[in-house]
Amino acid sequence: MILGALITYPQAIILGLLQGVSELFPVSSLGHSVILPRLLGWNIHQNDKYFITFLVATHLATAIVLFFFFWRDWVRILRGLGRSLRDRGIDPADTDAKLGWLLVVGTIPAGILGLLLEHPLRNVFASAKSAAFFLMLNGLLLFGAELLRRRAPQMDADDDARIARTVGWSGAFAVGAAQAIALIPGFSRSGATMGGGLLVGLSHKDAARFAFLLATPIIGAAALLKLPELFGHEGDGVRGQALVAALCSAVTAYLAVRFLMRFFETQTLTPFAIYCLAAGAACTVYFFS
């Protein structure tokens, strides 16, 4: 097999479209990227260096879409961070600064755990069988978050102000650390952070918003750190496919975040929990049969 045939352009399109949706829906993008090639009989494996390099482009595209979708929020947040640094403190009334530092607090544990655990966890849980099993557990995690969630008080009309006033420092740290569970194929980053947001008292809409804001620097930084690999020898033969996949991922990520922000105004995580349990169980039975 020639290097350029490791991932075909049709496969790149399918994987890119899937990545944009499954990264933001609480259903595990990594789990789906492990399971789908096995179901379709593709000779693509999650720990192949060229495949990890290929996924970098799709992750970066998703992070860029998230940043521009919430760009007005990010402008306010960055200005708030600047004010707090200038004043050497956070004004109690400055909810933008508070939210900015909550995101910083949430990003630190996720970044550290990601650097320490990414390779060990991927090496241990790289099979489609384990991904299907953990997809079922992801469904149980979402169900558990719904059962244990705290009722969200409506204190402010502004979305970001509600988040800043509801989430404490320890809550931000815990929600941020929960992102590391997505290093195990089958568990969802957005599912873990949305569930964590519900447990600290956010509404479904605010939990989704906080999860997407929190995911943007983590996904973006992780992709940027690995971007040199895409332009190095490990990207030989997959750069064109990665570009196509990134464009597809950007389209579906935009549609996904737009849909989810409306969906969670009135709906819950339960439909995604049911999907994860059903899909995980079906794939587990299929793989073991």
Assign 254 a pLDDT band (cuts: 50, 70, 90). very high
Q: With contact defined as beta carbons under 8 Å apart, do 99 and 80 qualify?
A: yes
CA pair distance 227, 225, nearest whole angstrom: 6
User: What is the number of alpha carbons within 13 Å of residue 277 lying toward its C-beta?
Assistant: 12
pTM (2 decimals)? 0.90
Between 140 and 178, whose confidence is greater? 140
Query: What pLDDT, on a 0 to 100 scale, did the predictor assign at position 161?
Result: 85
Domain ranges, ordered by start, for the chain? 3-288
CA pair distance 165, 201, nearest whole angstrom: 10
How do residues 17-68 score in pLDDT, each as one tens digit? 999 999 999 999 989 988 999 999 888 877 777 888 888 899 999 999 999 9
Q: With contact defined as beta carbons under 8 Å apart, do 39 and 6 qualify?
A: no
Assign 267 a pLDDT band (cuts: 50, 70, 90). very high
How do residues 223-236 score in pLDDT, each as one tens digit? 888 888 888 877 77
What integer best gives the mean pLDDT of the chain?
A: 89
Estimate to the nearest angstrom the gap between the alpha carbon of 156 and the chain centroid: 27
Say whether pLDDT at 222 is over 90.
no
What's the one-letter identity of residue 285? V
Say whether pLDDT at 5 is over 70.
no
Which of 43, 92, 72 has the alpha carbon at shortest distance from 209?
A: 72
Query: What pLDDT, on a 0 to 100 scale, did the predictor assign at position 125?
Result: 65
How many CB atoms sit inside 10 A of residue 211's CB? 29
Q: With contact defined as beta carbons under 8 Å apart, do 240 and 5 qualify?
A: no
Assign 121 a pLDDT band (cuts: 50, 70, 90). low
Query: What pLDDT, on a 0 to 100 scale, did the predictor assign at position 113?
Result: 83
Which of 264, 246, 252 has the alpha carbon at shortest distance from 197?
A: 264
CA pair distance 112, 133, nearest whole angstrom: 26
How do residues 123-153 score in pLDDT, each as one tens digit? 666 688 999 999 999 999 999 999 998 776 5
How many CB atoms sit inside 10 A of residue 70's CB? 19
| Long-range contacts, stretch 103-108, CB < 8 angstroms, 24+ apart | 103/77, 103/172, 103/213, 103/214, 103/217, 105/169, 105/172, 105/173, 105/176, 106/172, 106/173, 106/175, 106/176, 106/177, 106/179, 106/214, 107/176, 107/214, 107/217, 107/218, 108/173, 108/176
